[in-house]
Structure 1
């Protein structure tokens, strides 16, 4: 059974709708879910917020949070997840913001991805260092990690 199918089945059993706020994955989480027939019963909507302006305008991420912590931070991931819930009819949200590469810096290396999971008032965040394994591999790893976070939360 695929990871995405498992998420859909668990969400359907819990009668929960899902949303995602994605930056570095550019919609890959929603694509994985909506590739499966019947996904419309639990996939509510998705947000691709690649720019800081999109994060602010679509999800309500505070400019002060972006200025203080940068887009690739658990603080921004938390606000993205909360904002996705607030801007949708979903009960569960996942957010992803990271540096897929190439590039990065000493303080924020390539392969660093921050995740948020929001359900009601609860938001959990996590940072994963996937390493400089190449843009495509980091994005796939981030997508799969986000799907696992959703599955585990369900």
Structure 2
């Protein structure tokens, strides 16, 4: 199924992007990490080294003119993990220059959405993100298949049109 999308591999893909990078997240929980656990215990959002790397890496792409957008499909009421993501978004994603929107799952009726999370770079490079049932990373697949990249780009845009900007979205 592929090798992990390491920071280095992701950075290479983002560096090669000239115009856009879009990311669709559709799970209510992913692998737990120390930052999430700390937030559960204290309610405090604390950035770690990976967050700083993200802000720097994505920030450089945005500075060169790459539009980085992330859409999150979420069940309401939000899971603890999704609440944590919402709390972290200003200090990590928005700080990096991403534009983030949220789409409540009940508003997805009629949309055709791939069953796995993905990234699409410049509407031509597609990265599938596969997770286990409990949210742990399983694998990634990178493809340059134009039909699949277009399918996912179109799915992303349909979600994006319905989704609510992070600044306006209030967790339920």
TM-score bracket relative to the smaller structure? 0.3 to 0.5
Which of the pair is proportionally richer in helix?
A: 1
The normalised TM-score by structure 2 is 0.34
